[in-house]
């Protein structure tokens, strides 16, 4: 089941997963980084317009937390550390 809970952009466990209108799911940070370069879905190129406060896909988030709790905590810490580094830079 781990593969189904991985982002195809970063190849890591989803963190704050967002499902696009075309049905593909990505980590929030990965998706918005990709949308900085193109307004299409990174997989199928369908137009994607999302606001920065777009809600996470709760079902997928709960599955990540239930089946991979330790890896989810590590992923959160990793992204928080990255955010601190970027804002300090």
Domain containing residue 40: CATH number: 3.30.40.10
Cα–Cα dist 20/10, whole Å: 16
- Containing 26, the helix (H) or strand (E) segment is strand 25-27
Residue with tokens 């830079």: 89
Query: What tokens appear for 41 in the block?
Result: 């879905």
Q: What is the pTM of this model?
A: 0.87
User: Cβ neighbours of residue 63 under 8 Å, at least 6 residues apart?
Assistant: 1, 5
Return the closest-CA partner of residue 79 out of 10, 21, 19, 25. Answer: 10
Question: For 13-25, how does the pLDDT look when each residue is reduced to its tens digit (9 = 90+)?
Answer: 999 999 999 999 9
Question: For 30-82, how does the pLDDT look when each residue is reduced to its tens digit (9 = 90+)?
Answer: 999 999 999 999 999 999 999 989 999 999 999 999 999 999 999 999 888 87
Task: Please give the pLDDT value at position 3.
Answer: 87
Task: Place 27 in a pLDDT band, splitting at 50, 70 and 90.
Answer: very high
- Give the range of the structural domain holding residue 77, as residue numbers without chain letter: 2-88
Task: Please give the pLDDT value at position 55.
Answer: 96
pLDDT at 84 over 80: no
Total domain count, the chain:
1
């Amino acid at each position: 089941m781990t593969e189904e809970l991985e982002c195809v952009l970063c190849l890591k466990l989803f963190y704050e997963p967002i499902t696009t209108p075309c049905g593909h799911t990505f980590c929030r940070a990965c998706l918005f980084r990709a949308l900085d370069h193109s307004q299409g879905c990174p997989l199928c190129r369908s137009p994607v317009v999302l606001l920065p406060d777009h809600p996470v896909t709760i079902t997928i988030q709960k599955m990540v937390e239930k089946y991979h709790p330790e890896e989810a905590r590590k992923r959160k810490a990793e992204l928080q550390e990255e955010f601190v580094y970027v804002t300090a830079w």
